[in-house]
Structure 1
Amino acid sequence: MVTVPSRQGLEAVDILRLRTGVGPVLHDASGGTLGFLVPAGTAVDWDLPGSACIQTHRRVRAAAGDPPVSGTCWLVAPEHSNPVNDPTLLRLALGEAARTIRAAEGIQAADGR
């Protein structure tokens, strides 16, 4: 599972939905992070700054049921998504999301907000 701050994750979910489709996504109880379920083995090569990739110990079932990580709920449930998030496409979407956020913050700073 790839975890990122919520703002970046929500942007990435929108990007993936518009382009290629999104896989299962979790959000934590505090709303601070989102977790994108990715294929087993993704953590070995994951190195995107600002994110973490951890292995979960439960498989996602065909039906949403209980999320594979305690203290989370489904943002995008497995039955309403691709089976998992493609790591390459996720990396691209997260990069684009980070750039979008930085640009929006720059505009707000320029406007004095």
Structure 2
Amino acid sequence: MRPAAECDLVTVPARQGLEAVDILRRGAAADLVGPVLHDGGRDTLGFLVPPGTADAWDVPGSTCTQTDGRDLGPAPEPPVEGSDWLLPPGDTDLATDPAVLRAALGEAARLIEVADGCR
């Protein structure tokens, strides 16, 4: 894992992202979830992942972009204006493993689909 200061950013709808955070934090991967941003105005969550992830990211309903080397050291301002930390870098200094995030996002999407089908 890389320090959070050298990361790409996976952005997902807030509902799916919050489900994924819950899945990651309560499972065996609890130590593998890195800093997470919440962009309240756009209703999205952003997971910091290792650099280079954007080159091969292909999860439907999400995007992965490079952070262009923005400093995300201890107690930083969020790198996206209008956002705030859901899980700040001070709580964890590692980026989220992309394979673990991919699995959590898939599980979250399935849970949301089932929940929406029960309405």
TM-score, normalised via structure 1 length? 0.89
Task: Tell me the equivalent position of 1:46.
Answer: 57
> Which blocks of at least 5 consecutive residues in structure 1 are unaligned?
109-113
**Structure with the higher helix share, 1 or 2:** 1
* Percent sequence identity over aligned pairs: 59
Could you list the per-position Cα deviations for residues 55-113 of structure 1 after superposition, in whole angstroms to 9, with x for gaps in the alignment? 1121321x1221122221100001112511100000000000000000001111xxxxx
Structure 2 residue 67 is matched with structure 1 residue 59: no
Of stretches 75-84 and 9-18 in structure 1, the one that deviates more from structure 2 is 75-84
Aligned residue pairs: how many? 107
Please tell me the root mean square deviation across aligned C-alpha atoms, in Å. 1.2
Cα distance in 1, alignment partners of residues 112 and 39 from structure 2: 21
Cα distance in 1, alignment partners of residues 40 and 118 from structure 2: 31
Task: Tell me the equivalent position of 1:111.
Answer: none
Cα distance in 2, alignment partners of residues 59 and 88 from structure 1: 24
After superposition, where does 1:1-113 map in structure 2 within 5 Å? 1-19=9-27, 20-21=29-30, 22-30=33-41, 32-57=43-68, 58-61=70-73, 63-108=74-119
Q: CA deviation at 1:31?
A: 5.2
Conserved? CA contact 1:56–1:69, under 8 Å: no
Q: CA deviation at 1:29?
A: 3.3
Cα distance in 1, alignment partners of residues 34 and 80 from structure 2: 16
TM-score, normalised via structure 2 length? 0.85
Structure whose alpha-carbon radius of gyration is higher: 1
